[in-house]
Amino acid sequence: MLHIRYYFNIRLILTFIALTTFTTFTTIFTTSMIIVIQCIDRAGLVASVSAILAKNLFNIVSLREHVDQADNLFFMRLEVTFGGDETTLENQLRKVLPDDATILINPLPDKKVVVMVTKEYHCLADILIRNYFGTLGATVQCVIGNHKVLEDICKRFDMPFYAISHEQVSKEVFEEKIAATIDQYNPDYIVLAKFMRILSPKLVAKFPMRIINIHHSFLPAFIGASPYRQAFERGVKLIGATAHFVSNELDEGPIIAQQIIPVSHSFTAADMVKAGKEIETAVLARALKLVFEDRVFVYKNKTVVFE
């Protein structure tokens, strides 16, 4: 009887040790970390980075890299597992990378967003739903509108809404109010979810490559009001949408995502508007996912996107 009890005590101790070891091992290799690198290209960069990671027991889960040969630029995004020290890792990486290298480790994991709107609801509604269910990849802090039309839907999601009218005030005063409201939240990104006002270079410069816009892809063919009506009357066979970072050149900032869908003679003007809203919503959602997951590199007026 004593031997049996002794045997079971030994088994319990060994089981505890095994479970503890497995739990520690599992914790180590399931802690996810994102590493983003951009620098001048040279031979051996991938090997050097991989060697540093292996030396520190980091396990590479995903690795994407690209070289722009025209500009001799190297881009890399890695997802690794291990709960190591970020500062030590960055210091070691800097020793093997070019001096100008940009290295971001776990860049802004909990991103904050301010959304700006006018009257159209489709993009905002999609963002609010994703935010509510925790699938947006960021947290919406507030919504700013130059009309009150969309205040009600924000209330339904308990989302702060700021109505800042552009009417009867100068553009400078209008944008100062917007900037002051944004500054209260210090967001990482500003999303123009069909915000139908042109931002001044001063406001754009305040948030460089941090403002994301969505628009139809008819530009420059159909400008002004009712682009889908114009497209219908022209008999176009494709409609689409473009999501891009905002620059001082109107609707010409670095492109993040684009998509087109075919349309036919059977489409009415209303059908085109409906299809246009659906594709704008989808393209903006895709662009935000890419940006929030740190899959987008911006250089010159272009992007490298690791999907």
**Amino acid, res. 13:** I
| Gap between the Cα atoms of 169 and 283, Å rounded | 33
User: Tokens at residue 228, please?
Assistant: 């889908």
Active site residue 251: yes
* Residue 271, CB-side half-sphere exposure with 13 Å CA sphere: 14
User: Tokens at residue 150, please?
Assistant: 């969309």
| Gap between the Cα atoms of 236 and 219, Å rounded | 13
Do 283 and 242 form a contact (C-beta atoms < 8 A)? Answer: yes
* Beta-bridge partner residues of 259: 241
User: Tokens at residue 182, please?
Assistant: 């944004």
Query: Mutual orientation of helices 269-292 and 227-234 as an angle, nearest 10°?
Result: 120
| Gap between the Cα atoms of 67 and 75, Å rounded | 6
Do 297 and 101 form a contact (C-beta atoms < 8 A)? Answer: no
User: Tokens at residue 214, please?
Assistant: 């969505």
Which DSSP letter does residue 207 get?
S
Q: Which of 68, 126, 158, 251 is catalytic?
A: 251
* Positions marked active-site: 251
